[in-house]
Amino acid sequence: MKKEIPMVEGKLRSTKLQRVPEEIYSCSGISIFGKHIQSFLFSTDVSIICNTNADAVIAVYPFTPQPIITKAVMVAADVPVLCGVGGGITGGDRSLLLAVEAELQGAIGVVFNAPTPESTIEKVAKLLDIPIVVTVANENTDYAARINAGVAIFNVAAADKTPRIVAEIRSKYPKFPIIATGGPTGETIRATVEAGANAITWTPPSSAQIFAEIMSAHRENRPLK
């Protein structure tokens, strides 16, 4: 028998609370330090982070990683955070230092970009106690070399090829933890979960999109939904 879950909501925050798609709850989840995580919010916007119900945050962004950004996300989030530490343009010892700093600030794991060499991963793995996550962006990835270097979780972000790559990894490594982008719809999320993803990254509507809806309602004197 399915158990009913009591719902406790506030009068203000629940109005625009960004809820992760229900389809994500069909995945198994990943246990990191005893915390069961099915959904990762893909954002560094602290206002979005404070107003979603995702299980965790994956703070990866297209700029050189900076400890001040990591600190801001860590302060805002009331859930575990995976922090991006470069590995592509920002690499080598700088990525190593950023990874150590992220752990000391309280990150539950660090995320390296797809081009990160195994030599960097090996150095970081010797120093860190938190898991190393590496992004997989295409099929031309030596999964065994990554795992042997110290990678604990794969983060598959390969656009429409994501389900296929997830299925390939799952066929080779039946129990290896996989996070993957779920795509824009419930159908794409289900396809990624069925391919073997343990957890899903979800990109929420931006603050600008939400503001546009609110301002449109104000201009038309409509109540907010």
Q: How confident is the model at residue 223 (pLDDT cuts 50, 70, 90)?
A: confident
Per residue in 12-55, pLDDT (tens digit) is 665 556 889 999 999 999 999 999 999 999 999 999 999 999 99
Residue 191's nearest CA partner among 171, 200, 172 is 200
- Can you give the pLDDT at residue 151? 98
pLDDT at 225: 65
Other C-beta atoms within 10 Å of 218: how many? Answer: 10
The model's pLDDT over 160-215, given as tens digits with 9 standing for 90+, comes to 999 999 999 999 999 999 999 998 899 999 999 999 999 999 998 887 887 787 78
Residue among 208, 210, 165, 209 nearest 183 (CA) = 165
Written as six digits, the tokens of 173 are 């490594």
Give this prediction's pTM: 0.90
Q: What are phi and psi of 59, to 5 degrees?
A: -95, 80
d(CA 143, CA 27): 22
| Average pLDDT of the chain to the nearest whole number | 91
Q: Give the DSSP H or E segment for 35.
A: strand 35-37
Domains along the sequence of the chain with CATH: 25-219 (3.20.20.60)
Question: Which runs of consecutive H residues, i.e. helices, occur in 17-90?
Answer: 46-49, 67-76
Q: Are residues 202 and 39 in contact, defined by beta-carbon separation less than 8 angstroms?
A: yes
